[in-house]
Amino acid sequence: MMQNDLFSKSEPKIEALCDGVYLLRQFIEPELFYNQIMKMAKISPFRRMMTPGGKIMNIAITNSGDVGWYSDRKGYRYLPLDPLNAKPWPPLADFMIKAAKQAAQKAGFKNYNPDTCLINCYQTGDRLTPHQDKNEQDFSQPIVSMSLGLSAIFQLYEEVRGGKPKNILLDNGDVLVFGGPARRYFHAVKKLEKDNHTLTGSKRYNLTFRKAL
Ligand SMILES: O=C(O)CCC(=O)C(=O)O
């Protein structure tokens, strides 16, 4: 058992789902992350960004870290300052980095060193269409994805768009690590079903830690 009250008290089980993809059920203490997100959102609020094609995204996004992922008419990219307030994004808290590193290590990715975390807020009916995370410079480092609140189905495709995805149920406190060959896999999130969660109400939050620079 992890001797650390940042994490759930039970022995975290790790499931290898396919090459490079590992699921750690109830690996994090959700309240701790949720409270931190709420604090950070006071500085850099959740906002619906614009796609390069001019559509407003339905999922609300904010960031934490040295840089933050951003999208507008100029394209997808990482920015050191939040365009909403022209200030740096809220820094990654030490406990967040520690949890992300421990998850990566458990999944066999040593020396994980995330410098940013993209935070998504899903409301009922929101979905994330198939995409690759490819605006980062270092693909040798995995993505560490943490889920809070309402459950969702994460869909993992392969390196080409299409085909039948692997459906993975992500619950409150679960951590999914995808790296190695899966780092370039397309992935999506199915439409969030209407429900109510004691921590997040009608919402789901997802944090993806990345090495962007
Ligand atoms: O919400 C999730 O579980 C995945 C989020 C994701 O794929 C992304 O932010 O790129």
- pLDDT digit string, tens, across residues 132-183: 999 999 999 999 999 999 999 999 999 988 899 999 999 999 999 999 999 9
Which amino acid, one-letter code, is at 30?
P
Domains in the chain: boundaries: 14-210
The CA 1 to ligand 1 mean position distance, Å, reads 28
Residue nearest to atom 2 of ligand 1 (CA): 206
Homologous superfamily (CATH) of 14-210 is Alpha-ketoglutarate-dependent dioxygenase AlkB-like (2.60.120.590)
Whether the CB-CB separation of 89 and 83 falls below 8 Å is answered with no
Q: Where residue 4 falls among pLDDT bands split at 50, 70, 90?
A: very low
Nearest CA to ligand 1 atom 9: 208
Gap between the Cα atoms of 151 and 147, Å rounded? 8
Please choose, from the candidates 6, 41, 58, 51, the residue with its C-alpha nearest in 3D space to the C-alpha of residue 27.
Answer: 6
Cα–Cα dist 146/177, whole Å: 9
How confident is the model over 171-199, as a mean pLDDT? 98
| Distance from C-alpha of 162 to C-alpha of 133, rounded to nearest angstrom | 16
pTM score of the predicted model: 0.94
For ligand 1, atom 1, which residue shows the shortest CA distance? 206
Q: Residue 16 corresponds to which amino acid? A: A
